[in-house]
Structure 1
Amino acid sequence: MNDEQAGAVFKTPTATPSSDAEAREVLQALYGAAVARAQPQRELARHLPPPPRGRTVVVGAGKAAAAMAYALEAAWPAQAPLSGAVATRYGHTPPRPPGVAARIDVWEAAHPVPDAAGMAAAERMLAAVQGLGTDDLVIALISGGGSALLALPVAGLSLSAWQAITRALLASGATIAEINVVRKHLSRIQGGRLAMAAAPAPVWTVAISDVPGDDPAVIASGPTVPDPSTCAEALAVLQRYRLAVPDAVHAALQSGALETPKPDDPRWASCTTRLMVTPHEALQAAAAEAERRGWRAYVLGDAIEGESREVARVHAGLAHYARQGRGPFRPPCVLLSGGETTVTLGGDVPLAARARGGRASEFALALALALHGSARVWALAADTDGIDGTEEHAGAFVTPDTLARADAAGLSAQQALAQHDSYGFFAALGDLFVTGPTHTNVNDFRAILIA
């Protein structure tokens, strides 16, 4: 594999960090370049349709939904009617830009486990698209996290039951595609149902991809796009991970009563979907920044899935190979990757209760162990929305002396990994990467510097 085949962009390399601080600054800059590429205020306007003859109603959900709504308000003609509502995660609403009139309501709700505020927001959006005609337009602003933020379970499934199913799915090790197959069939708004509620009005969806493969039907469980998955597939996921649903809901899945709108429905003819930005584009922006700084950049892929700790071991192997000068990656270089890894907690309730962190910091912890103090290798693993799991950090740094500093502080990296307490481990070392909400989301970001 040559540099071009590996996705590299580089000039004659000159980069050699003189300290951990300098290496961290480079890693932060690469993360910043990826996040900047995915900012709605930069990209959204060119993906919008012209105003219709009638009304324009905005709906949407995701960690970027508020920022997308503000970008739409700024770009939409002042004289054109505009109204609606979007839902975002608590604390993920940025300041409204100065001079931009407020025309779209922003609701905040819980993520990753839904709450009553998310249900209310979903009900509000369904009501907003009722009674529209062919001269009207629905603009849907969709980004990662929307599945939890539009919580509207089917009849027979209470909010508390839906919360329990969500927690079990998130802890099961299921992929995001598998999780969303279940969500779509247990929801009154996802899996294309929001768009069908708006018919005959045309629906124009602008989405930020946070999923491997960039399938709009998976992003936020696809509330405004056709769903090719089936009730039978949803049942198979539930059975695969031994998850229970109420008997009435199980029977409805078995009978096909909860089937979602399929691609052959003629009502989709008036629906359009545009991907505003993808994880690949964000990683390419990071690669360009690395090249500008004199590092060879290799993009390993934007759709990497699997257990965080296993993915980390593979990445560590590639880094070791590069350090030995035996592989296709020539130091000084940076290995970049994205996607959506998983963390399986297992069935031990006390263990799950102690788990702190997320898939990015668990990757970092497993990477540190697999690198076992390899000289001149630094890394950053972080979530591009600025929140890794349920704590306040985006991810964590790994340095050549991570394990040595942990030993000196009386910390066991192996024990922390066994307990899924990557947050506690990196917090004690001062190696958490904290950004606050970034108001976008193109999923996992991983960068490994090899000098």
Structure 2
Amino acid sequence: MTLDPQRLLRDLFDTAIAAAHPRQVLADQLPADRSGRAIVIGAGKAAAAMAQAIEEAWEGELSGLVVTRYGHGADCTRIEVVEAAHPVPDDAGERVARRVLELVSNLEESDRVIFLLSGGGSSLLALPAEGISLSDKQAINKALLRSGAHIGEMNCVRKHLSAIKGGRLAKACWPATVYTYAISDVPGDQATVIASGPTVADPTTSAQALEILARYGIEIPENVRAWLNDPRSETVKPGDPCLSRSHFQLIARPQQSLDAAAHRVRAAGLTPLILGDLEGEAREVAKVHAGIARQIALHGQPIEPPCVILSGGETTVTVRGNGRGGRNAEFLLGLTEALNGLPGVYALAGDTDGIDGSEDNAGALMTPDSLERAAACGVSAAERLADNDGYGFFAALDDLIVTGPTRTNVNDFRAILVLERHTDDH
């Protein structure tokens, strides 16, 4: 059988997405007793698909409200689905956050709340803290996204500017029992980081939020600074009694998707090398991946080709140019330049939610002749990388991957196929 490199890489991406889809992972995690009444709330790019899975599996009375990104909705009959903006929150997200809080207020001990949480929930469930406007949060969020801050740092700030995150949603539900089912999109799968942890304790502090803003040179208005210096800005801390009836269950994580892709690699007769969840500047992470691919191609270390290098996680992009493209396009463009047309090496990088940053593509594909084809089109990889224009580079080659919203989210997926050994560096 002749191997089609591009088809294999796309198959691996589809496999990774399917392994994390709510229809595959949610039903088995629900309580054994599904006959009673439950109030369902949720936020994230997978929230609508998770709500669908709940409706199919729950035998008792259901009602509730979930919010997902524009275009990521799904048809539900008992649970209302609302769409809002991501990654920068909008009025719709603020309105639905207020409704969610109203829905879980004044509950009794006998009530059950099912909270469906996935990546993107932090901006989708946006309710500013007292004295802070939505425009304040939008401006700070935009600055953080451009600064190169990693997801944990961004969420520390978000939690302390919120009326709903950092355990505050669980506090609002008290004394009802809360079951949180989460799909992780963060390296390390920390419950406190996924969508800024609305139903779990938060160990970070307002002082740390201020320090992060200062470290990245983000200017904040005086009302925001005053709030972060106010003791009321502190989130719910470990050991708080209001969390005693709150249960957290991780139902999908990036590792599951990497394992599923690795199984598919073996089925194709190749060897997988899983690097795990990685963080860092996208173009720098690309250089490391390029070094590993080159070592395999030239020396058969740490494994012999044919093989596939797999990794996940969430890189960052410090925006300096005016081009288009998310972190996956940036990674792949950096990889393309670093490999410099190394024969027999193909790669894919994509976001499992189907949206790379704020663009309409999930990611892109690289082939050994990407640089050559780009040059023939008058497109320079170095110039496009300097302008943060990964989208434009791969669009010129017709190598963008467009899936549309996948309605799940375990963050980035990267696969580098190394087909053969070479006697010397070309």
TM-score by length of 1: 0.91
Alpha-carbon distance, 1:252 to partner: 2.3
Q: In the alignment, does 2:291 pair up with 1:317? A: yes
Alpha-carbon distance, 1:255 to partner: 3.3
Please, which of 117, 133, 145 is the counterpart of residue 142 of structure 1? 117
Q: Which amino acid aligns with 1:41?
A: R
1:438 match? 406
Q: Distance in 2 between matches of 1:121 and 1:376?
A: 50
Q: Distance in 2 between matches of 1:225 and 1:374?
A: 47
Please, which of 245, 260, 276 is the counterpart of residue 301 of structure 1? 276
Match runs of 1:349-360 below 5 Å: 351=321, 354-360=322-328
1:449 match? 417
Please, which of 78, 82, 88 is the counterpart of residue 113 of structure 1? 88
8 A Cα contact 1:52 1:136, kept in partner? no
**Kindly, what percent of the aligned residue pairs are identical?**
56
- CA offsets 1:291-326 (integer angstroms, 9 cap, x no match): 111110010112x00000000000000000000124
Q: In the alignment, does 2:23 pair up with 1:25? A: no
Q: Distance in 1 between matches of 2:389 and 2:39?
A: 44
Cα 1:390–1:381 change in 2 (3 A) is: same
8 A Cα contact 1:54 1:135, kept in partner? no
Please, which of 59, 74, 91 is the counterpart of residue 94 of structure 1? 74
2:62 match? 82
Alpha-carbon distance, 1:327 to partner: 1.4
Match runs of 1:16-415 below 5 Å: 17=3, 22-51=4-33, 55-77=37-59, 80-96=60-76, 102-302=77-277, 304-346=278-320, 351=321, 354-415=322-383
Q: Which amino acid aligns with 2:25?
A: E
Which one is further off, 184-193 or 240-249?
240-249
Alpha-carbon distance, 1:256 to partner: 2.6
Q: Distance in 2 between matches of 1:221 and 1:450?
A: 38
Alpha-carbon distance, 1:43 to partner: 1.1
- CA offsets 1:215-241 (integer angstroms, 9 cap, x no match): 011001111111111111111111111
Q: Distance in 2 between matches of 1:387 and 1:136?
A: 36
Give secondary structure in 2 for the equivalent of 1:264.
Answer: coil
- CA offsets 1:387-421 (integer angstroms, 9 cap, x no match): 00111100011100000001111001111101101
Alpha-carbon distance, 1:183 to partner: 0.3
Q: Which amino acid aligns with 1:329?
A: I
Q: Which amino acid aligns with 1:27?
A: L
Q: Distance in 2 between matches of 1:231 and 1:224?
A: 18
Alpha-carbon distance, 1:65 to partner: 0.3
8 A Cα contact 2:34 2:58, kept in partner? no
Give secondary structure in 2 for the equivalent of 1:212.
Answer: coil
Q: Distance in 2 between matches of 1:403 and 1:108?
A: 39
Which one is further off, 156-165 or 314-323?
156-165
Which one is further off, 181-190 or 237-246?
237-246
Runs of 4+ in structure 1 off by over 6 angstroms are none
Q: Which amino acid aligns with 1:317?
A: G
8 A Cα contact 1:54 1:136, kept in partner? no
8 A Cα contact 1:323 1:450, kept in partner? yes
8 A Cα contact 2:35 2:61, kept in partner? no
- CA offsets 1:136-183 (integer angstroms, 9 cap, x no match): 111100000001101111122211121111100000000000000000
Give secondary structure in 2 for the equivalent of 1:314.
Answer: helix
Q: Which amino acid aligns with 2:97?
A: A
Alpha-carbon distance, 1:69 to partner: 0.3
Q: Distance in 2 between matches of 1:248 and 1:192?
A: 23
8 A Cα contact 1:53 1:135, kept in partner? no
2:424 match? none
8 A Cα contact 2:253 2:410, kept in partner? yes
Cα 1:136–1:53 change in 2 (3 A) is: farther
Alpha-carbon distance, 1:94 to partner: 3.3
Structure 1: gaps spanning 5 or more residues:
1-14, 97-101
Give secondary structure in 2 for the equivalent of 1:335.
Answer: strand
Give secondary structure in 1 for the equivalent of 2:280.
Answer: strand
Alpha-carbon distance, 1:60 to partner: 1.1
Alpha-carbon distance, 1:95 to partner: 4.4
Alpha-carbon distance, 1:75 to partner: 0.3
Q: Distance in 1 between matches of 2:221 and 2:82?
A: 29
Give secondary structure in 2 for the equivalent of 1:437.
Answer: coil
Q: Distance in 1 between matches of 2:97 and 2:9?
A: 38
8 A Cα contact 1:16 1:332, kept in partner? no
2:423 match? none
8 A Cα contact 1:53 1:136, kept in partner? no
Higher relative contact order (CA 8 A, sep 6+): 1
Alpha-carbon distance, 1:246 to partner: 2.3
Give secondary structure in 1 for the equivalent of 2:299.
Answer: coil
Q: Which amino acid aligns with 2:51?
A: A
Give secondary structure in 2 for the equivalent of 1:257.
Answer: helix
- CA offsets 1:408-437 (integer angstroms, 9 cap, x no match): 110011111011011111101101011111
